[in-house]
Structure 1
Amino acid sequence: MKRLLQLFSLLAILSLATLTSTYAQERNLTGIIYDETNSPMPGVNVIVTGTTTGTTTNFEGKFSLNVPESAETLTFSYIGYFDQSIAIGNTSNFSISMKVDAEQLEEVVIVGYGQMEKKDVTGAMSSVKSEDFNQGVLTSPDQLIQGKIAGVQMTPSSGEPGAGVNIRVRGGTSLTASNEPLYVIDGFPIDNTASDPGTAGVYSASASKNPLASINPADIESFDILKDASATAIYGARGANGVIIITTKKGKEGQAKVNYDAYVGISNIAKKLDVLTASEYRAATQAEGSTPLDLDANTDWQEVMTRQAITQNHNLGVSGGTANTQYRFSVNYLNQDGIMINSGMERIGGRMNITQKLSKKVTLGANMMGSFTKNNNLPYGVGGALDGGVINNMIRMSPLLPQDYSSPNLLEKNPYIMANSVRDFTNTQRVLGNAYVEAEFVEGLTGKINIGGDITSAKRNAYLPGSIEWVGEGNGSADVRNNFLHNVLLEGTLNYTKTFGDVKLNALAGYTFQEFGREYNGANATGFQIDDIAEYNLNAASGDNILVDSYKESSKLISWIGRANLSFKDKYVFTGTMRVDGSSRFGDNNKWGVFPSVSGAWRISEELFLSGSDVLSDLKLRAGWGITGSQEIGNYRSLPTLSGDKSYGAVGIGAGVTYDNYANPDLKWEETSQLNIGLDFEFFNGILFGTIDAYQKHTKDLLLELQAPQPAPVDVYLQNVGELKNHGIEISLNTVNFSKDNFTWQTGVVAAFNKNEVENIGDYEEIFTGAVGGRGQVGQFAQVIKPGLPYGTFYGPRFEGLDESGNAIESEESYVLGQALPKWTLGINNSMTFGRFDLNFFFNGSFGHQVFNNTALEFSSTNDLYGDQSTYNVMKSAAEEDIRATKYNSKFIEDASFLRLSNMTLGYTFNMSNVKSVSRLRLYVSGQNLFVITNYSGYDPEVNAPAGGSQVPPIGIDYNNYPAARTFMGGVSVEF
C-alpha cells in the first residue's frame, strides 16, 4: 500500500509541476463556430493540435480556451463535418464555419454479416466504442462493457481471476439450454463453450473459467450488441439470447504508429465475513461452559488466506499502412495474482490484422490471434463436510488454532495447508482467426468468401499429495484431463446496394456452414507413494487405482440467410430478414428451422414540420418483430446413445454398455418471438441524446426432461414442452452537462426493467432446483420453477423465530421468498476534462432481487461452536442470537440490491507538441470496486456460485464463493 501511495504522490507532483509550467505562459483564445446554415454549433471539439488540451463549444456555439504560448494551430471537429486546422498566429478571437462531410455524416455500425448506416437501423441495438470502455484490471473483453448497455446484465460467477461471467440480454429465454448470447468476433461466430476440462476427486473443484479470458481486451475497437429479434434473426437458431459483435482494432493508412500501454495494480479483499474473533470465541464458549480445542492462537484465517495481489499488464501495438495495405500487430502479457493465496492467471498473446487491396475491386483480409493462458486453480469448491474446499474451511476453522495446525480428521482441513499443497493448473492454448476475399462484380454488387477456424486445447493437471495429514501417506491422488475443441466456418455472401431516385436498397444473401467438435480424455489415479510430479507419472499409482475416461462429439449447422433494407427519402426505412437453419442436433423430423423478422423506422426529424428545428435534431421511431431460436442443448439428445463402463457387465463384473439416452426424433428448437418498439432522439445537436425501448419476448417449446414411456432403457427423455416470457423497458440517456473554457462534463445513464415469468412446464406442477449445501441440509432445495413465477424464484419455509432451546422455528407451509433476477439494472458514467486532466467515474447497480446466502446458513449453528474440543467457527450473528440449529428458510434470503462505485480513473496527458518522437503520453491512476452500498451480508451481492439440483440450473446462490477484490492501479499510455 505504501508503494501505491508513493505512486499517487509522484503522479500528483509531476502533474502539478507540469500544469504549473504550462499555465505560467498561456493566453486565452475565444471564438464562435457556425454550421453550413450559419447557425451557431454547440458541442464542437476545439483542440490544440497534437495535444489533448481543448474544450467544446457551448449552447451558443462559443468557446474559450487557455493555450500555451507554444501552441501553433487549433483543430475543430464534429461528427458529420470535416475537421479544420487553423493557424493561431496573433489571432485571439475566431469565427469558424464548419463544412459538412457527407460520408462521415452517415455513421456506420456493425450488424450481422455486414455494416449499415446508423440512421437506417430499424432494430434495437447498442454500440460502445473503445473510448467509452470500462477501465481498470480487465482480463476479458466482456468486462469492457459491464454496466454500459441497457438490458445487458453481467454477473461474475466469482472473484477469481479469469472466472466465468453469466451474461443475460433482456432476461433468460430458456430453463435448461444456454442463456448466454452469441459472440461474433470480426465476422466469426465463435463457440463460447468452457474449455477447462475440470477435475475429479477430493480437491473440491474450482469454478468454471471464462472462455473469453483468452482474448486481450486491449485489441478490441468496439462492441455492437443486437438485442431484439429484428436485429438478431439474421443469426437464426443462435439469436434468442442476443448477439454481441466484437470488432478488433485495424491498421489505418498513414505513418506507422507504436503504442505501448502498461499498468500495475494492487488488489485486496474488499470485505471480510463477520465470523468470531479469538477473543469473541473464547468469551462465547466460556459463557456456555464448553471446552473448544484451544492451542493458544489468535488466527484471523481470512487474513491468512488472502494477500495483497499484484497485477501487471503490458500491451504493445504497431499499426499503419498505405492506400493498399493496412496492418496492425500487437502482443500482450498479463500476470494477475488472485487475492486468495496460490491462485491467479497468466496470459501471453498476439494478434495480427491485415487488409490488402489487390485492385480497386478486390480486397483480401486476415484476422488472427493466438494466446496461451495458465490458470492456477484454487480448490475452493462449494461443498461442505468431506468435500469442503479452501473457502469453506477458511470460514469454518477456529481462530484458536495456529496457522500450521494439522489433523488426520477429514472434517478439519487446514485451508492454508490445502491451498499451498494442492497443485492444480490449467494450460489453455487458443488460435482464432479468419480470412476473407471481397470483390465487386458490378457496380453495387459485391461478393465475399469468409473462412475461419477456432482451435482450443486445454490441459488440466491436479494433484492432492499424501503428505497432507488428512490424506495420508501413500494416498496421493492425481487427475489429468485434456480438452480439444475446434470450430470451423465457411460462408459466402452477396451484397447489393443501389439507389433508385428517392429509394435506397441494400440486400444481402448468403450461405454458411459451421462445424463444432470436442475431444476429451482424462485419467484419475490414487495411491502414490511419492508426491513429486505424480500427476505426470500416473503409472506410479499403486494397484489398479487408475480410472480413464474419454469421449468425442461434433455437430454441424448449415444456414441460408437473406436480408433486405429499403429506405425511402431517408425518412421511412423497412427491413426484412430470413434465416433457414439446419442443425444436426435435432430429430429427423425437425432438423430445419425458419427464423423470419420484419421491422421499420420513421425518421420523424426529417419531416418538414421538424426539419428546421433548433431544438430537436434527431427523432426516429422504430418497431420490429421476429422469431429466433436456441440450439444449445448439447449433442445427440435426439438419438439413442450408448454408454460404457466396467460395472455394466453381468452382475456388476466386467465391462459392458447400456443405453443412456432415449431417442426423440421430434426434438426441435426452443423458439423465441419478440416484439420491440423504440424511440431514438437527440436534442441541441448532441447536447442530449438517447434511446427508449419497450419489448416483449415469448419463448415456447422449452426443452425439459419428462418421464419416458415405460418400459424404456432410461427413466427420462428430452422433450419440447413449456413456455416463458420476458417483457421490459430500456432507457439510455447521454448529456453534455457543462462545456466551457477548459472544463467539460458528460454523463451517460443506462437503466433497464425486466420481468420474467414461467408460463408452462408441461406435465410438471413444479420443479425444484438449487440444492442447499451444508451438513443437515440433504434433500433441501432453494428454488422452484412454477407457472406464474419468475425463473430463479426462492421458495421455502418462513423463519418465525427461535424456541427456548435456540432452535429455529419455521412455518409448516412453504412460500415464495424472493427472486434472483433483478427488476432494475443501472449504470451511470461521468467523464470530465479540465485542461490536460481527465476524470472518469462509473457506478453500476441492480435492484429488486435477492440472494440465498448459503454460506451464512452453513455457519449459523452454535452447536458447532459449543461441541467438546470444537474446532469450528460460526458467524458472529449466530452467537449473538444463540442459534443452536437451523435449516434453509427465509432468514437466509437476503436483499441483494446494490449500487457500486465500480471504477474511478484520474489521468494527465502531457504536452508533446515539442517532442518529435512521442506524439502522446498519458499517466493515470485508477481504483476499482471502491465501495458497494448494499444490505447484503456476504462477500459481494453479485454472485452466482454453482449449486446442485435438478435439470434446471439455479441462479443467485452464494455458497463459499471466492471473494471480490478492491484494486488500485497506476498506468502509462504512450504513442510514438
Structure 2
Amino acid sequence: MKKRIQLISFVSVLLLLTIFSAQAQDKTISGTVKDETNEPLPGVNVIIKGTTIGTTTDFEGQFSINVPSENETLLVTYIGYFDQEITIGNKTKFDIQLKVDAEQLEEVVVVGYGQMEKKDVTGAMSSIKSEDFNQGVMASPDQLIQGKIAGVQMTPSSGEPGAGVNIRVRGGTSLTASNEPLYVIDGFPIDNTASDPGTAGVYAESASKNPLASINPNDIASFDVLKDASATAIYGARGANGVIIITTKKGKEGKAKVDYDAYFGVSQLAKKLGVLSADEYRAATAAEGTSPLDLGANTDWQEVMTRDAITQNHNIGVSGGSSDTQYRVSINYLNQEGIMINSGMERIGGRMNITQKLSNKVKLGANMMGSFTKNNNLPYGVGGALDGGVINNMLRMSPLLPSDYSSSNQLEKNPYIMANSVRDFTNTQRILGNVFVEAEFIEGLTGKLNLGGDITSAKRTAYLPGSIEWVGKGNGSADVRNNNLHNILLEGTFNYTKQFGDFKLNALAGYTYQEFGKEHNYTNATGFDIDETAEHNLNAASGEILVESNKESSKLISWIGRANMSFKDKYVVTATVRADGSSRFGANNKWGVFPSFSAAWRITEEDFLKSSEVLTNLKLRAGWGITGSQEIGNYRSLPTLSGDKQFSAVGIGSGVTYNNYANPDLKWEETTQLNFGFDFEFFRGVVFGTLDFYQKNTSNLLLELQAAQPAPFDKYLENVGELTNQGVEISLNTLNFAKNDFSWETGFVAAYNQNEVKNIGNYNEILTGAVGGRGQTGQFSQVIKPGLPYGTFYGPRYLGLDENGNSIQSEEKEVLGQAIPKWTFGLNNTLRYKKWDFNFFLNAATGHQVFNNTAQEFSNTNDLYSKNSTYNVMKVAVEDGMRSTEFNSRFIEDATFIRLSNMTLGYTFGMDKVKFVSNLRVYVSGQNLFVITDYSGYDPEVNAPAGGGQVPPVGIDYNNYPAARTFIGGLSVGF
C-alpha cells in the first residue's frame, strides 16, 4: 500500500507541474536557416537551449516555435555545420546562416578496436544513440534497442524480471554452439556466460538470468552493431554471430553537471490463459455426470498468483571536467517486482569513467563499473521433480478449491503455498572495467595499451521447507550453489592515420590476450526439522548431503590487422585479418585465420551527382569475409575423467572413468558471408536509410555424434554439417513534417531471413524439442534435417476427433511449421509540438509458428472427468469434446503478431528563470500496451521449452512466466 501511495503522489506531482507550466505565457518565433551559399537547409534542429523544446526546419529551411519567455536562447544544430546559439530577446523573426564545420563532416562511428569516419565504413553496421533508445522499464541494456535494428531479433526467455534474452543477428549460425553475439563494452569483449548457478530439479528451476542485467541502461550512450563478416572479422573466432559494441557515457569539458532520472511504474498481467472458471468447471463435470472435489470455492488461480507489481528506478549522474580531465560518475538503484507473487529483482550499481591528459601526446583513461543484483527466483519451471512448478500448478489447480487448500499429494500442489514457502534467492556481484594508456609517438601514429577485468561472483540459496504438507515434516531440502567467473584482458594496438594527397590510410595492428575462468560448487542437503535457517545451516541435515565442485579455464591469443584506404573520398577499400589461437580446440587446430575484404563507392561524390540537391548521399558497399565460433565449452577436444562413488569397482571409496572422447582434430565452426548494400540520403537528411543483401554459409558445424558401443560415454563432438542464412535488411528514416512548432519523424526497419540446414554428417535427422507433460516421454516436436530450416516443427497432422474425443492424426509425420520468423519489422514515430513530445513504437513478426506445449498438456480432459478431480483444463478442449492429447499440428499455432511495444508522452518545462535547474522533463509511458495475434498463449514472443535434446530447440511455449503490461511516470532533471 505504501508503494502505491508513493506512485499516486508522484504522478499527481507530474500533473500539477504540467498544469502550472501550461499557464506560462508563450510567444511564437519563426525564421529560415540557410547554408553559406544561401541555400535553405531542411531538417536542421532548432531547440531552446537547455530543454527538449524544439522543431526541425521544413523543406524550405523554415521553422516556427513557441518559446516560454523573452530571455531564452536558441540552439541551432546540423550535422556538418557549426552549432550556433542565438539570443532571442524581443525578436520574433530570424534569418540564420550556418557555417560548414569540416571536422564535423567526418562523423565517426565505433568499430572494432577504434573509431572510423562513417563515410569510410565499408561493412554492414547499424548505430543507435541514446536519444533513440526504447523507453520504459529497462532492466538490461539489450532492451534499449529491441526491435530498433534491422536483422537483430530479440526473444525473451520469459517475462520474469532479469530473464535471459535470445539475440540473433542475421539468424543463427550454429546448431549446438552458442548463437549469441559478442558484446564489447568500452573496448572490452566480455564473456556473456550466464552467471546464475542454477538449482537442483526439485525446485522446478527458473529460466536462466540475463548477464547484461547487471549493467545500468542509464549509463549507455550508444550501440554499434556489426553485422557482416567484413565488419566482424576483426573479432575472428567470436564474430560469426555478430558483434554489439556498447559505448557508455563520458564526461565533457565544462562545469559540473548533475542529472537525476527517476520513474515509478506498475505492471500487470497482460493476458490470462483460457482455463475453466469455477462455474464452467461445475457445468462441464455436471454434464458428464462426474463428481470433482468441490470445496465451494470460486478461485481464479491466475488472479491469486499475480499482482500489480511496482517498479522504481533512480539514477544520478555527475559529469564535467577541464581540457585535461573529463569525468562522469553515476549511481543507480532499480527495484522491479515481478507480476507473479514473490518474484522480482533489485539492483544497485555505480560507474566511473575518467580520462586524463598527461601531456599533449599521452592520455590515461579508466572505465569502471560495480553492481550488486538480488533476484527473488520464482520456482515456476517444470523440469524438476514433484510434478512441476508454480505456473504449471497455477493452471492445473481446480477453481473449486480455496487458496489455502493443502494436500499431502504432491500432484495437488497449491501454487500459492509453494510460491510463498519456497525461498530461492540469487545474489550476484560484478566488477567490470578497463584502464588504458594512449600515446602518440609520431604524427599519425598512436599506440594504446588496454588492461581489463570482469569478475563475477554469484550465490544461489534455495530451500523447500518440510512445513509444506506434500513435502512432509523433516523432509526439507536445501540447495546452495556458487559460481565465480573471471575474464582478464590484455591488448596492445597501434593505429596509423596518414593522408597522401587524395589518398588516405588508416591502419591498425595489434595483439590481444584473454583468459576466462570459472569455479562452481554446490551442496544439496535433505532432512531438516527446522525450516527457518536450513539453507544457511547445512550441518543440521539428517539426510544425505551431496557435494560437487569443478574448475575450468580457457585462453584466447590473437593477432589482428586492418587497413582502410580511400581515394578522393570516393573509393574506399578495407582489408582485415585476425589470427586466433584457442585452448578449446584440438592439438591439430589450435589456430584459425579469419580474413575479410570490403569496398565502397561513394557515388554522390562523382561529378555527375555531386551538385544534386535531391540525392545527397549514395554509397554502394560490398564485402566478403570469414568468421568463427569457439563457444563449445572447455576441454571438448581432450580425454577427460569423472570421479564419483558410483565408479568404485569394489563399492568402497570412489573411482574414475572417461567422460569425453579425445578429438585432436576438433576445430572452429566457420561462417563465410557475402554482403551487398546501399546507403542513401535524399534532401540532405529528410529521407535516409540503408538496404543490405547477405548470404551466410556456416561449415564445420559442431555436432554430438553417437559413440560406438561399448564405450564409457554415449556421444562425442565432431565437425560435421553445414547450414546457410540469406536475407534482406531495410532501414528507412523520414522527416515527414516540420512546420509551425510541429514535427513528425518516422523510423522503419524490416528484415527477411531464410535459414536452411544443408548437412548433418551421417545423420538423416536429429529430433529435438522434447514434448512436456505426463505421458509424453520420448516425444519430440522439432527435427533437424537437410533441406529444412533450423527450428522446423515436425509431427503428425491433426485431422479431428473420433467419437471418444481422441485425436485423429496422420500416420506419417510431416513438416508442421518453423519457429524462426521470416520477416521482422519495427516502426518508430516521434512527434513534437511546442513543449510536448510523443513517441510510439510498434514491432511485428510473421512467417513462423509456436508450439503451445502448455495448451497441449491442459487439453487432456480425462483429468477433469476423473472422480474427485482437482485438475483444471483449457475451456476450448471441453468445448471441442477433446479427451486425451498427443503432439500434433493442432498445437502448432501461427505466431504472427503486431505489438505496441511503447508509447510515451512527455512535457519539457522552460527553466530559464530557475537558477539551479537547467532542464526538467516529465513523462508518462506504457509498455506492451497491446498485441494483435491469433496465438492463444500468454505471448507469441517466447522460447521456454520443456527440454532440448541433441540440438537446443526454439519457439516452444511450456508453462512460461507471463508477459506484463506496464505503465510508468518519470522525470529527468538537470542541475
Is 1:955–2:931 an aligned residue pair?
Answer: no
Contact 1:258 1:975 in 2 (8 A): yes
Is 1:758–2:757 an aligned residue pair?
Answer: yes
Corresponding residue number in structure 2 for 1:746: 745
- Distance change in 2, residues 1:571/1:772 (3 Å): same
After TM superposition, give the deviation of residue 66 of structure 1 in Å: 2.8
After TM superposition, give the deviation of residue 2 of structure 1 in Å: 9.3
Corresponding residue number in structure 2 for 1:924: 923
Code of the aligned partner of 2:732: L
- Distance change in 2, residues 1:2/1:453 (3 Å): closer
- Deviation per CA, 1:688-741: give whole Å up to 9, x if none: 000000000000000011133455432321100000000000000000011002
1:409 partner SS: coil
Distance 1:861 1:944 in 2: 23
Is 1:175–2:178 an aligned residue pair?
Answer: no
Corresponding residue number in structure 1 for 2:555: 556
**Stretch moving more, 782-791 or 386-395:** 386-395
Corresponding residue number in structure 2 for 1:637: 636
After TM superposition, give the deviation of residue 514 of structure 1 in Å: 0.1
2:25 partner SS: helix
1:782 partner SS: strand
Corresponding residue number in structure 2 for 1:512: 512
Corresponding residue number in structure 2 for 1:501: 501
- Deviation per CA, 1:101-132: give whole Å up to 9, x if none: 11111111000000000000000000010000
Instruction: Count how many residue pairs are aligned between Structure 1 and Structure 2.
Output: 972
Corresponding residue number in structure 2 for 1:686: 685
Distance 1:852 1:361 in 2: 60
**Stretch moving more, 72-81 or 786-795:** 72-81
Corresponding residue number in structure 2 for 1:29: 29
After TM superposition, give the deviation of residue 3 of structure 1 in Å: 8.1
Is 1:593–2:592 an aligned residue pair?
Answer: yes
Corresponding residue number in structure 1 for 2:65: 65
Code of the aligned partner of 2:628: G
Distance 1:435 1:603 in 2: 37
Distance 2:917 2:38 in 1: 38
After TM superposition, give the deviation of residue 57 of structure 1 in Å: 1.1
Corresponding residue number in structure 2 for 1:347: 347
1:638 partner SS: coil
Using the aligned pairs only, state the percent identity.
78
Distance 2:5 2:936 in 1: 30
Contact 1:382 1:946 in 2 (8 A): no
Distance 1:672 1:150 in 2: 20
Contact 1:384 1:775 in 2 (8 A): no
After TM superposition, give the deviation of residue 30 of structure 1 in Å: 2.3
Distance 1:325 1:489 in 2: 25
Corresponding residue number in structure 2 for 1:190: 190
**Stretch moving more, 73-82 or 844-853:** 73-82
1:470 partner SS: coil
Code of the aligned partner of 1:118: K
Corresponding residue number in structure 1 for 2:617: 618
Code of the aligned partner of 2:43: G
Superposition misfits of 4+ residues, deviation over 4 angstroms: 1-10
- Deviation per CA, 1:862-911: give whole Å up to 9, x if none: 10000000000000001111111110000000001111000001111100
Code of the aligned partner of 1:828: L
- Distance change in 2, residues 1:100/1:709 (3 Å): same
Distance 1:652 1:899 in 2: 61
Distance 2:709 2:101 in 1: 72
Corresponding residue number in structure 1 for 2:483: 483
Corresponding residue number in structure 2 for 1:361: 361
Code of the aligned partner of 1:720: N
After TM superposition, give the deviation of residue 387 of structure 1 in Å: 3.1
1:475 partner SS: coil
Distance 2:590 2:209 in 1: 32
Contact 1:647 1:653 in 2 (8 A): no
- Deviation per CA, 1:440-475: give whole Å up to 9, x if none: 000000000000000000000000000000000010
Distance 1:52 1:713 in 2: 67
Code of the aligned partner of 2:51: T
Corresponding residue number in structure 2 for 1:241: 241
Corresponding residue number in structure 2 for 1:831: 830
Distance 1:711 1:872 in 2: 45
Corresponding residue number in structure 2 for 1:425: 425
- Distance change in 2, residues 1:441/1:460 (3 Å): same
1:661 partner SS: coil
Contact 1:326 1:354 in 2 (8 A): yes
Distance 1:816 1:52 in 2: 53
Distance 1:395 1:69 in 2: 59
After TM superposition, give the deviation of residue 72 of structure 1 in Å: 4.1
Which runs of 5 or more residues in structure 2 are unaligned?
A: none
Distance 1:672 1:201 in 2: 37
Corresponding residue number in structure 2 for 1:784: 783
- Deviation per CA, 1:194-231: give whole Å up to 9, x if none: 00000104111111000000000000000000000000
Corresponding residue number in structure 1 for 2:451: 451
Corresponding residue number in structure 2 for 1:294: 294
**Stretch moving more, 49-58 or 827-836:** 49-58
Code of the aligned partner of 1:396: R
Distance 2:715 2:306 in 1: 45
Is 1:732–2:735 an aligned residue pair?
Answer: no
Distance 1:10 1:435 in 2: 43
Distance 2:89 2:395 in 1: 69
Is 1:668–2:671 an aligned residue pair?
Answer: no
Distance 1:68 1:492 in 2: 53
Contact 1:297 1:399 in 2 (8 A): yes
- Deviation per CA, 1:803-838: give whole Å up to 9, x if none: 101111111100000000000000100111111111
Contact 2:672 2:698 in 1 (8 A): yes
Corresponding residue number in structure 1 for 2:887: 888
Code of the aligned partner of 1:761: I
Contact 1:579 1:594 in 2 (8 A): yes
Please, what TM-score do these two structures have when normalized by structure 2?
Answer: 0.98
- Distance change in 2, residues 1:638/1:69 (3 Å): closer
Code of the aligned partner of 2:920: L
Distance 1:80 1:34 in 2: 13
Distance 1:514 1:48 in 2: 48
Code of the aligned partner of 1:824: W
Contact 1:768 1:781 in 2 (8 A): yes
Code of the aligned partner of 2:225: I
Distance 2:340 2:207 in 1: 14
Corresponding residue number in structure 1 for 2:810: 811
Is 1:97–2:97 an aligned residue pair?
Answer: yes
Code of the aligned partner of 1:147: G
The match for 2:18 among 15, 20, 24 is 15
After TM superposition, give the deviation of residue 70 of structure 1 in Å: 2.0
Distance 1:337 1:63 in 2: 45
Question: 1:526-545 counterparts in 2 under 5 A?
Answer: 526-543=526-543, 545=544
2:936 partner SS: coil
2:24 partner SS: helix
Please, what TM-score do these two structures have when normalized by structure 1?
Answer: 0.98
Distance 1:965 1:652 in 2: 53
Question: 1:397-408 counterparts in 2 under 5 A?
Answer: 397-408=397-408
- Deviation per CA, 1:470-504: give whole Å up to 9, x if none: 00001000000000000000000000000000000
- Distance change in 2, residues 1:253/1:638 (3 Å): same
Contact 1:383 1:392 in 2 (8 A): no
Code of the aligned partner of 1:962: Y
After TM superposition, give the deviation of residue 13 of structure 1 in Å: 5.0
Contact 2:70 2:90 in 1 (8 A): no
Contact 1:207 1:946 in 2 (8 A): no
1:286 partner SS: helix
After TM superposition, give the deviation of residue 38 of structure 1 in Å: 1.8
- Deviation per CA, 1:266-295: give whole Å up to 9, x if none: 000000001100000000001100000000
Question: 1:259-278 counterparts in 2 under 5 A?
Answer: 259-278=259-278
Is 1:573–2:576 an aligned residue pair?
Answer: no
Question: 1:21-170 counterparts in 2 under 5 A?
Answer: 21-23=24-26, 26=27, 28-170=28-170
Code of the aligned partner of 1:80: G
Distance 1:2 1:533 in 2: 34
1:949 partner SS: strand
